[in-house]
Amino acid sequence: MGGVSTVDRAERVPKQDRSRATRQRLLEAAVSCLAEHGWAGSTVSVVAERAGVSRGAAQHHFPTREDLFTAAVEYVAEERSTALRALFPDGAAGDRHAVVAALVDLYTGPLFRAALHLWVAASNEEQLRPRVTELESRVGRETHRIAVDLLGADESVPGVRETVQGLLDMARGLGLANLLTDDAARRERVVAQWAGLLEESLG
């Protein structure tokens, strides 16, 4: 009789788990490398070593360098989106200051630093540009959707969509300013001001 034995099935599940764990280690190592060393210093070999896997195993999961780094930034962006929603499981329209602060925080950590290196590389690397452009568009749409939900914004009202987009553009700008110096004090004042403006404009 054909079919899969219980032993075979038992062995395959842990193998799938191991494969998933290896992939996750590679993605997390890729983001750390990109944030710390930039595109030029982040090779598949460097990432594989940091993740504790062989270069061959890395290339099994991600055949090219571009595959690895675009997947890594997308993976962490999804993790951050999930974490952002988890901060406000019941919505947060009543505390817009907290929402603005949480959105700004998205742009001040290693994910933003890694994404920035990827954007800069994409401006010079023809094979990377379309992938990063598409990825950034997708991540941007998801972040915008989360912001609208958390702020309780009604985008059918003229100007509201642009107000939310302006908030996200401002948050990205604060993230850029934070790359060179610790901008926490000024950032807190800007967050407070934006929260007040949103209360007025969103009602």
Do residues 85 and 146 lie in contact, with contact meaning Cβ atoms separated by under 8 Å?
A: yes
pLDDT of residue 29: 93
**pLDDT confidence bin for 3, thresholds 50/70/90:** low
Distance CA 66, CA 41 (A): 14
Q: What residues contact residue 186 under an 8 Å CB cut-off, 6+ apart? A: 177
Q: Name residue, tokens 């290339």.
A: 59
Q: Name residue, tokens 């998933």.
A: 20
Q: What residues contact residue 107 under an 8 Å CB cut-off, 6+ apart? A: 171, 172, 174, 175, 176, 178
Q: Which helix (H) or strand (E) holds 106?
A: none
The reported pTM is 0.76
pLDDT of residue 17: 78
pLDDT average, residue stretch 27-47: 90
Q: Can you give the length of the chain in residues?
A: 203
Q: Is 119 a residue whose pLDDT tops 90?
A: no
Question: 71-118: per-residue pLDDT in tens?
Answer: 988 888 888 888 888 888 776 657 889 999 988 888 887 778 888 888
CA distances from 27 to 4, 118, 159, 192 (A): 32, 14, 38, 35
Evaluated on CA atoms 103, 115, 123, 143, the torsion sign reads: negative
Q: What is the mean pLDDT of the chain?
A: 85
CA distances from 24 to 18, 56, 96, 177, 198 (A): 10, 16, 33, 30, 38
Evaluated on CA atoms 182, 29, 77, 136, the torsion sign reads: positive
SS3 of residue 91 by DSSP: coil
Neighbours of 121 (CB within 10 A): 20
Question: 171-192: per-residue pLDDT in tens?
Answer: 998 888 887 887 788 888 999 9
